[in-house]
A and B are shown apart, each in its own frame.
Chain A
Amino acid sequence: MSVAEGSAAPAALGPRAQAAGSANAIAELVEATKRYGAVTALDRVSLRAMPGEVLAVLGPNGAGKTTAVSLMLGLARPTSGQVRLFGADPRSAGSRMRIGAMLQVSGVPATLTVREHLTAFATYYPAPLGVDEAIAIAGLEGVANRLYGKLSGGQQQRLHFALAMIGNPDALFLDEPTTGLDAASRRAFWNHVREYLGGKRSVILTTHYLEEADALADKVAVLDHGKVVAYGTPTEVKARAAGRKVSAVTRLSATEAAALAGVRSVERSGAVLTLLSSDADATVRALLKADPEASGLEVTGAGLEEAFLSLTGRTEA
């Protein structure tokens, strides 16, 4: 029996989508749109998670992050466009055996123990981790025989992580995994994720914590109002979005400054003008040309926070 090349690709795929698709992507949205009644949750979004890569889908609440993940997981069907998980339909058992997911759940049945929950989930997969191994990975050794209902919030979250890991997945979906945790638990969770992924697994992470994306992600896709407004490494996104902050004491008005090369937004505080610039070098040259007297010149890198605010248009400027 011969296996045709690309036999897994859906036949209905148009040439454009095919060009955009990738043979070895873990999870992929191609021009995916999802509407709920009059609301467009996702608007022709193309996203791709590659093997061994941590992709963070970053955005404010309601940006469409969970919708994007729901499509990738086959929990919802796109109104138009393509969704593929390991090159196949996300709803196929074959795809689902290779993923683990930590979704936004308010709880799992309270009257089963940590060990019982993991034992049941392990039977769903062809080559699961050992139950004790999963317990160790999630740091639940001391409470393995405790009922879920008697666990602390942090321990419950760790069981959700263990349930995602028990199938020994190639790809891990983490939908806002640290929402509701305190700062210390959040950091501990990031360390856990870094330690146990080690480039071997792919991760699709949604978050509205910029710090989380910065700490974990190889690639960041910024979603806003159902559209991808930026995509790249955290460094690239920072650079492409706001790049740098240029501040100086200048006689230029805010309107004049806004017209300078590379300037995205202007903020005045007293005599100091602060310019968010996508090309700091060009901005500085243009500024000095327009106002040779400008003084107190300062160029600083904008954080992901500023990049995010600038990209999603949520600046006060």
Chain B
Amino acid sequence: MTTSTPTPTGVTDAASSITQAPRRNMLRLYVTEARFEFLKLLRLPGYSVSVLAFPVMFYVLFGALFGGYAVQGISAAKYMVVGYSAAGVLAASLFGFGVGVASERGQGWLRLKRVSPMPPLAYFFAKVVMALLFSTIVVVVLTALGAWLQGVRFEVGAWLRMYGALMLGVFPFASLGLAFGYLFGPNSAPMVLNLVYTPAAFASGLWIPLTVMPPVLQRVAEFLPTYHFAQFALSQAGAEPVGSGLTHVLVLAVTTAVCLALAVWAYFRDEGKTYG
């Protein structure tokens, strides 16, 4: 052991972590990491605007256009609150992880984190919390907008079930983002992710109900995890279910597992390459 003693010169921050036998405060570590991960992205317009402002803007535009119709037994206005919420969750998870990991890896920031005694789990925990927070904001804002602009009402129980279903989506799409973050560089990752996000959101009926689209697209949609994600959330919100809830959850679980495996593979592939 060394005898170097820390000198907390009037620092309130350090005071709590210095006890007789110095130990890290793990709770504080995880909370701090998550807090700054959220702040970091909130201050990044490229992220916060595309994740928060775009779904809201689209909802206001398209919600007004389709508001009168009924889809799957609920009003199109309600359908769109759920759909754009799902799009927000997808964007928050996919871009938060994908672009985040790709750029932090590219900068060498991740190497610095790996050399530090930060538990690797804290890094991912912080990003998951960040994605959940941004997703929550999107859902809450869209619910309030729907109520205010078009009188969309949810039963408390139905809203909570829908909220739970939407938050479940963070895991598969964050995993997909993570894989892309390790597979692609900081410059190509945002473009590649947009190439995934935009068609997937459109073809899964997140922006416009699938019922107004050609039947071919509806059949394609069944192969997309994003479609099952949206249908699961819709069914919890009170829409007529399409397909079984078990299938939807299973698809999301398998997507998570496959993407995590891909991320782990890409991580090791990258580890061998970076120092070559």
Residues of A within 8 A of B (CB): 36-37, 39, 66-67, 70, 73-76, 93, 96-99, 101, 103-109, 111-112, 116, 119-133, 147, 163, 167-168, 170, 173, 200
Residues of B within 8 A of A (CB): 2, 4-11, 13-14, 17-18, 22-25, 28-29, 32-33, 36, 39-41, 43-44, 104, 106-109, 111-112, 114-119, 271-272, 275-276
Evaluate contact between A200 and B4: CB separation under 8 angstroms. Answer: yes
Q: List 24 A-B contacts (CB under 8 A).
A: A70-B275, A73-B115, A74-B115, A93-B117, A99-B115, A103-B112, A105-B112, A106-B108, A109-B40, A109-B109, A111-B39, A111-B43, A120-B32, A120-B36, A124-B29, A124-B117, A127-B6, A127-B22, A130-B8, A131-B14, A132-B9, A133-B9, A167-B117, A200-B4
How far, in whole Å, are A108 and B11 apart by their CA atoms in the complex? Answer: 24
In the assembled complex, which residues on chain A have CB atoms less than 8 Å from the CB atom of B116?
Answer: 96, 101, 121, 124, 167
Evaluate contact between B36 and A130: CB separation under 8 angstroms. Answer: no
In the assembled complex, which residues on chain B have CB atoms less than 8 Å from the CB atom of A200?
Answer: 4
Given A111-B40, A112-B39, A132-B108 contact (CB < 8 Å): no
How far, in whole Å, are A128 and B15 apart by their CA atoms in the complex? Answer: 10
Evaluate contact between A130 and B43: CB separation under 8 angstroms. Answer: no
- 8 Å CB contact of A109 from B104, B111, B119, B272: B104
Evaluate contact between B40 and A105: CB separation under 8 angstroms. Answer: no
In the assembled complex, which residues on chain A have CB atoms less than 8 Å from the CB atom of B112?
Answer: 101, 103, 105, 108, 163
CB distance from B59 to the nearest CB of A (A): 27
CB distance from A251 to the nearest CB of B (A): 53
Given A101-B115, A170-B4, A127-B18 contact (CB < 8 Å): yes
Evaluate contact between A96 and B108: CB separation under 8 angstroms. Answer: no
Other than A93-B117, A103-B108, A105-B109, give 7 A-B pairs with Cβ distance below 8 A. Answer: A74-B115, A96-B117, A124-B116, A126-B23, A127-B18, A130-B6, A170-B4
- 8 Å CB contact of A133 from B7, B41, B111, B118: B7
Evaluate contact between A168 and B108: CB separation under 8 angstroms. Answer: no
| Secondary structure of the B contact surface, majority rule | loop
How far, in whole Å, are A75 and B270 apart by their CA atoms in the complex? Answer: 12
Please list the 6 inter-chain residue pairs (A to B) with the smallest Cβ-Cβ separation, ordered nearest first. Answer: A130-B11, A105-B108, A127-B22, A111-B43, A96-B117, A126-B22
Evaluate contact between B114 and A123: CB separation under 8 angstroms. Answer: no
User: Which B residue's beta carbon lies closest to that of A70?
Assistant: B275
In the assembled complex, which residues on chain B have CB atoms less than 8 Å from the CB atom of A133?
Answer: 7-9, 11
In the assembled complex, which residues on chain A have CB atoms less than 8 Å from the CB atom of B275?
Answer: 36, 66-67, 70, 75-76
CB distance from B88 to the nearest CB of A (A): 20
Given A130-B7, A131-B13, A167-B116, A103-B111 contact (CB < 8 Å): yes
- 8 Å CB contact of B14 from A37, A109, A129, A163: A129
User: Which A residue's beta carbon lies closest to that of B5?
Assistant: A127
How far, in whole Å, are A243 and B102 apart by their CA atoms in the complex? Answer: 49
CB distance from A149 to the nearest CB of B (A): 9
Given A124-B117, A126-B23, A133-B9, A105-B4 contact (CB < 8 Å): no
In the assembled complex, which residues on chain A have CB atoms less than 8 Å from the CB atom of B118?
Answer: 124
CB distance from A195 to the nearest CB of B (A): 16
In the assembled complex, which residues on chain A have CB atoms less than 8 Å from the CB atom of B44?
Answer: 111
In the assembled complex, which residues on chain A have CB atoms less than 8 Å from the CB atom of B24?
Answer: 123-126
In the assembled complex, which residues on chain A have CB atoms less than 8 Å from the CB atom of B11?
Answer: 130-133
